[in-house]
Amino acid sequence: MSDALYHDRIVALAKSRAGAGKLEAPTASARRDNPLCGDRVTMDVRLDDQDRIVELAHQVRGCALCQASAVALAARATGLPKAEIGTLRAEIDAVLDGTAAGEGDFAAFAPVRPYRSRHDCVTLPFEALQDALKPR
Amino acid sequence: MSFDVAALRRQFPILGRPVNGNALHYLDNGASAQTPDAVLDAVRLYETTARANVLRGVHALAEAATEAYEGARADVARFLGGVPAEEVIFTGGCTAAINLVAQSYGSLLKPGDEIVLSVLEHHSNIVPWYQLAQRIGVKLRPLPVTDEGRIDVAALPQVVNARTRLISVAHVSNVTGAVVDVAAVVAAARGVGAKVMLDGAQRAPHGPVDLPALGVDFYVFAGHKAYGPNGIGVLWARRELLEAMPPFMGGGSMIGSVTFEAITWAPPPRRFEAGTPPIGPAVGLGAACRWMMGLDWTAIGSHEMGLTQRLMDGLAAVRSAWLIGPPGLQGRLPVVSFVLDDVHPHDVAQILDSFGVAVRAGHHCAQPLMERFDIAGTTRVCIAPYNDIGDIDALLAGVDEAVRRFA
């Protein structure tokens, strides 16, 4: 069954580490921990004066699903107004509960649906980004 | 007595059931062990012939329930080296037992008193003491861990002092499998008049515990890790300590008398067992202790260590694998943690699941130890008497696949 979970696209996303790292001067940053497994994601974002995400970097201490999710999220979120991140979160939640197929690389997470204990691995980067974008 | 692993396996119904089409290779025993027929039958017998509340009723079922419950207490007392049954408290689990001590014995401590805990403790032996420190101002003193994942008893003189009131450490690490040097801990405590508590959660599943020989003051363990049911645990403490300790929870059965003006407490163990206790689980735990006392633990120890050696040899052949814990078999039990470079423990465990191999991955509720080794988590293999060579070889095949897939 793990063949379905760790299919080629998930492994490729995780290994690519695209967008991994830190920003020199982030507008906002947030770290989220998964208290059950100890995984940790830090998201740095830089916003322009119209609250559009112009740059995003992630540091992930987590599993392949978490790594792949951070890469997929960074690719989709860069260039979006920060107000639209909630829409991306709703999309990945829908993929995980089987009510939507998901756009682009978000669709790669559909096989995670039956693995309830792994849903948090996928959503942790989203939570870190949403946390970073909260009004301070 | 001789040891026949195939015969032992037949006593565990779940081991014969396939999981997702695979034979089950259950190596997550440190989280919860499986349960033999002897325990399942005992619980069913109680529930079908003697189910009633204990202590209060005079009817036949109530008498039978009380006898079964108190009989289980006597079984646990024998399992713990023949301690008095009145010193055995049934709790909701090992965590509940530690919390009982932290709340009750802890209430006798004063601001500035010190409690020594090791860096490898399970969170259940850290958090209740942290809460006590927040509440009354006791100070927690961490005892370091060696590079081999052992509690560094050589550091005791630097950590234990005249203000130390309690040293509370794991009898066996739930991550590294290292057995603590109990004699060194007890000697350090006695030198300053402190008490010693051992968290026996990972020790009790490997045979009877000789508490009089260990010389400690408190001992706790969980039923579900020791082949018993969920929802039951044990606190043992010396009678004079229990008699000095106030109750932790109030309710029925734990009182001497009740008026609106004054309440008196029942003597131990009832003082600490408010309300209706988990009778069926206690009966099951008693059966688990009888079952364990009927086994040849010398032969089982050799069997478990043989499997541990096979596991460690197999991991040594995996270039990206490294152990978190003692490199050999001395002073350890068959709890083995390892890390694969570039493969997260959750991914290892998920791949292993596809081979029918059940293990635990993550921080194992031991975040200070993970920080000590600068890792996010490990993959942990916990071997029980019913494990066999097939279990270890299936695990090693799964590890090879995880390396192939991710590294």
pLDDT along chain B (407 residues), means of 10: 87 94 96 98 97 90 96 98 98 98 98 98 98 97 98 98 98 98 98 98 98 98 98 98 96 93 96 97 98 97 98 97 97 98 94 96 96 95 98 98 90
The yes-or-no answer on residue B94 being catalytic is no
Chain B residues with beta carbon closer than 8 angstroms to that of A35: none
CA of A134 to nearest chain B CA: how many angstroms apart? 27
Chain A residues with beta carbon closer than 8 angstroms to that of B345: 63
Determine contact: B277 vs chain A, CB below 8 A.
Answer: no
Would you place residue A2 in the very low, low, confident or very high pLDDT band (cuts 50, 70, 90)? low
Mean pLDDT of chain A: 94
Q: How far, CA to CA in Å, does B371 sit from each of B306, B317, B335, B363? A: 31, 27, 19, 10
Residue to substitute from A31, A37, A116, interface B, most B β-carbons within 10 A? A37
Backbone φ and ψ of A21, nearest 5°: 135, -160
ipTM summary value: 0.88
Per-residue model confidence (pLDDT) at position B2: 61
Burial B182-204 (b: 16+ CB within 10 A, else e): beebbebbeeeebbbbbbbbbbb
For chains A and B, CB pairs below 8 A equal: 50
pLDDT at A38 over 90: no
Determine contact: B145 vs chain A, CB below 8 A.
Answer: no
pLDDT at A1 over 80: no
Per-residue model confidence (pLDDT) at position B407: 75
CA dihedral B205, B211, B215, B218 (to 10 degrees): 70
> What's the CA gap between B295 and B82, in Å, rounded?
17
Query: For residue B164, which amino acid is it?
Result: T
Task: Give the residue-averaged pLDDT of A79-85.
Answer: 95
Enumerate residues 6+ apart whose C-beta is below 8 A from B154: none
Tens digits of residue pLDDT in A46-58: 999 999 999 999 9
Residue of A nearest to B374 (CA): A61
Q: From the candidates B94, B289, B365, B382, give the one annotated as an active-site residue.
A: B365
Tens digits of residue pLDDT in A53-79: 999 999 999 999 999 999 999 999 999
Is the Cα dihedral B64, B68, B69, B71 positive or negative? positive
CA of B209 to nearest chain A CA: how many angstroms apart? 31
CA of A63 to nearest chain B CA: how many angstroms apart? 5
Question: What domains can be seen in chain B, in order of their start residue?
Answer: 5-31+296-406 (3.90.1150.10), 40-293 (3.40.640.10)
Domain spanning A2-132 has what CATH number? 3.90.1010.10
Task: Give the residue-averaged pLDDT of A127-135.
Answer: 95
List the domain boundaries for chain A: 2-132
Q: Within B278-331, where are the H helices?
A: 279-293, 297-316
